Structure 1
Amino acid sequence: MIDLDLLNELVTFKKYGTLSATAEHLMITQPSVTRGMKKLEQELGVELFDRTANRISLNKTGELAAKKAKTLLNAEKSFKDAVINYANTNNTIKVSSVLPGPISLIENRRNKIIKSKIKTTSANDLVKAANVATNIQNYDNQLVFSIDEINNEEIESLFVGNEKLAVMIDNFNPLAAKKSVSFQDLADQIFLVVNDIGPWKKIIEDNIPDAKFLYQEDIDALTELSRYSNFSYFVSNLTLTGRNIVEDENRTLVPIEDDANKIEIYGSYLKNQKTRIKPLLKEIIKIWPN
C-alpha cells in the first residue's frame, strides 16, 4: 500500500513546483522530499519526473499521478471526517443553514426547545445551497435549514415556516411614517447588510431599484456602524426574536409587504436520523414566528 504521505508530497510538489518549496511547505528537509519521490517512483514502477542537472519537473505521467493523488487524498479526508462526524452524532445534533435566520432563532430561543444537545454553526458560516445534500451525507451537520425541499433515498425535508424581511428606517426618513413598504418604495435607499445572508442577497438586489448595499462582515460590525449612521438595515421575523433591534430609538421598524418578500424554509436531514431530528424540528416549528 502506498504511503499517503508520499502522495501528499507529490501533490505539494505539483502545487509549488520545486523541491525546496515543497520541503518548506511540508516542514521537512529537501533531501527527505527527494528520497520520498524516488521511493514513490519505485513503488509505482514508473518515472514521474524529468530530471536535469539543475532542475526536476513532473512529466506527463507525473502530472496524471499528482491529479489522481489529490483525488485520493480528498477522498481519504472525506472518509475520516464522515466517520468522526457520525460518531459525534450520538451525543450532539449539529445544525446549520443556508441563511442566518434559523440559526438566530434557535440561539435566541434555546430555552423553548427540547433539551437535546444542539450545536449550531455560526450565522456567519452558512452552508452553500448547492452543498446541502453533501453536507448532510458527510455528517457535517445532522440538520440543515434550506430553501429547497429534498426527498431522495437518503434525505428528506420538513417544511418549518417562512421568513420575511422588515426594514429599520431612520426616523426622519419619510418612509418611516408608512405602515408598510414595498421593495419598490425602497428604491435609491442605502442599506447596511450582513455580508452572507444566503438567498436574501439576490432577492433584495433584484427587487430594490438603484439601492446601495454596504455589506458588513458580521452582525456585530453592522450593529456598531448603525449606531453612528442613519442608514437603513433589514431584520426578519426570525432575527427579531432575540436582538433588541426594535429598541433602536433612531429608527422605526417598517414591515415590507411585497410578493417577493417570502422564503419558504425546510429542515433537511438523513432519513436514518429521523427519530432524533424530527422531534427537534417539531419543537422549532412551535416557536417559529409568523
Structure 2
Amino acid sequence: MELEQLRQLVAFAEYGTLSKAAEALHLSQPSLSRTMQTLEEELQGKLFVRQKNRIVLNETGWIAVEQARKVLSSAEELAERVRLAERSRQSISLGACAPVPIQDLRPLLRELYGEITVSAELRDTDEALLEGLHKGEYQMVVTHQKPPEDEALFCFPYREEHLSLLVPAGHSLAMLPVIHASDLANQNLLLYSEIGFWTQVCREKLPEAHFLFMNEWDAFGDLAGLGAFPCFVTDAFSHRTQAVNKVVIPIEDRDFQTTYYFVCMVQEQEKFRELITRLKEKRFRTEPL
C-alpha cells in the first residue's frame, strides 16, 4: 500500500465521482479506477458499490477514507518534523513576544553559535509562541508571562521592561512627574506597529487614546524625535533615546511593566546551556530614564 493510493481514495471521497477526482488529480479515469481496485485487493475488502457507469463508497469504504485521512495527516506531520529537525541542526529559531528580547538574544546567539543561522520572529501572544515551541517551529521563545506548569518546558525570568512616555517639552503632559493610563484619554499617541504584545496592551488599557500607527522603523524614529506626538520608550535601551526638547515621563501603571521569561524544551536545555548561563550571569537590568 502506498500513500498515493490513499490520497486518491480521499480525493474520490471528496469529489464524488471518478471523473471529477481524476481531473483534480491530473490522472486518467481508467488509471484511478485501477488504483481503487488494487487498493481493495490490498485491504482485502470491498470499498465500493459498483453501479452502471458509476461507483460509490460503501460503509467499509467510508471507514477506509476516515483512516486514510489519519494516515496522510500522520505522514505530513512526520515529514514536517523531519524538516524542522534538519533545519534546527543548521539554524536557531527564536520566537518572542516583543522586540526587546530579540535585541537581547540575537547578538548573544550569534556570538555563541556563530556558524549557525539565527532567525527571529515576533508574535503577539504567548500562546502562539508556546504552541510553536511544542511543534518545533521555534527552539526557544520569550514570553511576557510565566508559562503554565509543563514538565516538558524549562523556563526562567531573565529581565524586566518598563515603558515610559516621550513627550514634547511644550506638551500638556510634560509637567506631570508620572503618567497614569487615565492621563492618556483622548491623547494622540505615535505607535510603532511591530511591538508584539504591547500593541494589545495599548489597545486594551488605553481605549480612549488615539493611535497613529507607523510600520517603517526609520520613519517612526524620525517622527518620534522631531514630531509633536507623544510616544512610548523603554528603559531596556534608554541610552538610545536621544531627542531634543523632549521629556521622558515614567508610566506608573503595572500594565506597562513586564517580566520576560526564557523558555525552551527540557531536552534542549543542555544544547543551550552556555546561552542560559550567559543570560543568568548577564542579569539584564532596567536602566533609569
Instruction: Please confirm whether the aligned pair reaches a TM-score higher than 0.5, indicating the same fold.
Output: yes
Equivalent in the alignment of 2:96:
97
Q: For residue 208 of structure 1, what is the aligned residue in structure 2? A: 206
The counterpart of 2:154, out of the listed 153, 156, 175, is: 156
* Residue 79 of structure 1 pairs with residue 78 of structure 2: yes
SS at match of 2:136: coil
Give SS of 2:180's match.
coil
Give the structure 1 partner of residue 274 of structure 2.
279
The CA deviation at 1:266 is 1.1
Residue 280 of structure 1 and its aligned partner are, at CA, apart by 0.8
Q: Which has the larger radius of gyration?
A: 2
In structure 1, the partner of 2:136 is 139
Distance 1:222 1:170 in 2: 17
1:184–1:209 contact (8 Å) kept in structure 2: no
Distance change in 2, residues 1:18/1:181 (3 Å): farther
| C-alpha displacement of 1:90 | 4.3
For the aligned residue pairs, the C-alpha RMSD in angstroms reads 4.3
TM-score (norm 2): 0.71
Q: In 2, Cα distance between the equivalents of 1:154 and 1:134? A: 13
Task: Kindly state the Cα deviation for residue 273 of structure 1 after the two structures are TM-superposed.
Answer: 2.0
State whether residues 91 and 119 of structure 2, in contact with CA within 8 Å, keep that contact through their aligned partners in structure 1. no
SS state at 1:257 partner: coil
The 1:106–1:230 alpha-carbon spacing in structure 2 relative to 1, beyond 3 Å, is: farther
Does the Cα contact within 8 Å between 1:94 and 1:119 map onto a contact in 2?
Answer: yes
3-state SS, counterpart of residue 104 of structure 2: helix
* Cα offsets for 1:71-114 (capped at 9, x unmatched): 4333323223333433444454332223343113334x449954
Q: Which amino acid aligns with 2:147?
A: E
Contact 1:8 1:73 survives alignment (8 Å):
yes
1:288 matched to 2:288: no
Identity over the aligned pairs, expressed in percent? 23
Three-state SS of the structure 1 residue aligned to 2:263 is strand
Give matches, 1:103-252, under 5 Å.
103-107=102-106, 109-110=107-108, 113-115=111-113, 117=116, 119-123=118-122, 126=123, 128-146=125-143, 147-169=145-167, 173-193=171-191, 197-213=195-211, 218=215, 220=217, 223=220, 226=223, 231-238=229-236, 240=237, 246-247=241-242
The alignment covers a number of residue pairs equal to 280
Bigger shift: 274-283 or 55-64?
55-64
1:9 Cα deviation after fit: 4.0
Distance of 2:217 and 2:28 partners within structure 1: 46
CA contact (8 A) 1:93 1:119 kept: yes
Give the superposition deviation at 1:252: 5.3
Q: 1:24 to 1:177 in 2, by over 3 A?
A: farther
